[in-house]
Amino acid sequence: MSNNLASLINEELARATPTPAQRLHAIEQAISRRVEAEYRDDIISHMATMQQQTLPEASMMDLQPELEWHMRPYLLDFIVETHVTLRLQPQTLFLAINLIDRYCSKRVVYKKHYQLVGCTCLWIAAKYEDKKSRVPTISDLKHMCCGAYEEDMFCQMEGHVLNTLEWTVGHPTTDSYLDLFLGPESPQVTQTIRHVSRYLCEVALYPRTFFSFAPSLVASCARTLAYHILGIPCPNPNMHSSIYPSQGNSSEMHCLSTLAQHMQQPSRAVQKKYSRQSYCNAAQIVSAFVSQAASNNGAGIPNPATPPPTLSAPHSPASSIHTTFSEASTPSSAYFPVSQQNSPANVKQHFSPQVYSMSNLSNVSVNYR
């Protein structure tokens, strides 16, 4: 065993209670840190390549004939709340939303299938990121959608999503970049910093504006803003530009300014999630900072000195969808067996709190232990 690895193991053991399980975990952490440091440059290069290949296109989503951008927050609230209920890994949420957006960038999705696509993408992401014991069953998915879809529809949709994405499921999410920028757990990087940073990353999942920013840039800005909110000097604030110099500081300032604006009005689902003690009350910390900044400045959080570029105008859906999208679309009712609950007469024309409310799961008994 090399001296460097031995010192890393001793450092981990010094912070852990010397039980056999914790000693094993400390050794695993030390080995993981060493491997990560050894292959860091290769990992960053591969993540940059995958990032460009697996980004959704907002301009293509603009062309959806039935879906509107105001529907997306309702679906994301449903996904966030379901993710919390199932106690899935943080990266599963970010991957699921990436899969949803990528699929909607390539295929026509009908309103009656939007929730089906979202739930199926969460299912795929859970299989990719989580333990087998945490992956929901098809029966669970049906209950979460209040019986709107038959069980075999989830299997058909899973195959359709995977074939559309050419089985490219992996994606360097904002959460994975955040872990890279924050580094391994240490006394300097507290759980509060991690939770506030991740809270800001989840806030950025909602606005269409953030489609123009790479996940690596959003993660870097969330990290910088989290340190600022907590009043802690940010170590290496130019970490992102040093790793990806081609993106420049102007993009980072624009992203930071945009994130500072949108964190003032977060999604209620995300705010409720991060209001718990298990998340270090990250939502309250950010809310208190916003309130204090508003009282000090009279008009909210000040923008950076460099003015951000003008945002693009609101989209206007194109008149025709067939000239841009692939001919294949989300399977219509001819492909899916239509149940009584899923008949056109009973399918909601728009997302509503009744459809996307976790209160509908109150009678569902799903145990994940």
User: CATH number, domain at 98?
Assistant: 1.10.472.10
Residue 312 pLDDT greater than 70, yes or no: no
Residue 160 inside a domain? The answer is: yes
In this structure, the answer to whether residues 165 and 60 fall within a common structural domain is: yes
Tokens of 358: 């976790």
In this structure, the answer to whether residues 89 and 13 fall within a common structural domain is: no
Residue 325 inside a domain? The answer is: no
**Residue from 59, 159, 74 nearest 104 by CA:** 59
Residue 313 inside a domain? The answer is: no
Q: Helix, strand or coil for residue 186?
A: strand
In this structure, the answer to whether residues 215 and 291 fall within a common structural domain is: yes
Q: Whole-structure pTM over 0.85, yes or no?
A: no
Task: Kindly state the DSSP code that residue 368 receives in the 8-state scheme.
Answer: -
Residue 237 inside a domain? The answer is: yes
In this structure, the answer to whether residues 122 and 209 fall within a common structural domain is: no
In this structure, the answer to whether residues 218 and 288 fall within a common structural domain is: yes
Residue 338 pLDDT greater than 60, yes or no: no
Residue 37 pLDDT greater than 90, yes or no: no
Residue 329 inside a domain? The answer is: no
In this structure, the answer to whether residues 288 and 347 fall within a common structural domain is: no
Residue 323 inside a domain? The answer is: no
In this structure, the answer to whether residues 61 and 122 fall within a common structural domain is: yes
Residue 260 inside a domain? The answer is: yes
In this structure, the answer to whether residues 33 and 96 fall within a common structural domain is: no
Residue 60 pLDDT greater than 90, yes or no: yes
Residue 343 pLDDT greater than 60, yes or no: no
Q: How far apart are CA 252 and CA 249, in angstroms?
A: 5
The angle at the Cα of 212, spanning 211 to 217, to the nearest 5 degrees, equals 95
In this structure, the answer to whether residues 162 and 192 fall within a common structural domain is: no
Tokens of 57: 């296109």
Residue 71 pLDDT greater than 90, yes or no: yes
- Distance linking the first and last C-alpha atoms of the chain: 37
Q: How many domains does the chain have?
A: 3
> Distances from the Cα of 18 to the Cαs of 72, 170, 225, in angstroms?
48, 36, 36
Are the C-beta atoms of residues 98 and 73 closer than 8 Å to each other?
A: no
Q: How far apart are CA 195 and CA 274, in angstroms?
A: 8
Residue 63 pLDDT greater than 90, yes or no: yes
In this structure, the answer to whether residues 61 and 156 fall within a common structural domain is: yes
**pLDDT tens digit string along 122-163?**
999 999 999 899 999 999 999 999 999 999 999 999 999 999
Which residues constitute the domain of residue 28?
A: 3-38
In this structure, the answer to whether residues 19 and 66 fall within a common structural domain is: no
Are the C-beta atoms of residues 124 and 153 closer than 8 Å to each other?
A: no
In this structure, the answer to whether residues 21 and 76 fall within a common structural domain is: no
Q: What is the mean pLDDT of residues 9-31?
A: 68
> Distances from the Cα of 145 to the Cαs of 116, 164, 355, 361, in angstroms?
8, 23, 8, 9
Residue 303 inside a domain? The answer is: no
Report pLDDT for 280.
92
Tokens of 2: 């090399």
Phi-psi region of 300 (alpha: psi -120 to 50; beta: other; left: phi over 0): left
Give 189's strand partners.
186
More confident residue, 246 or 226: 226
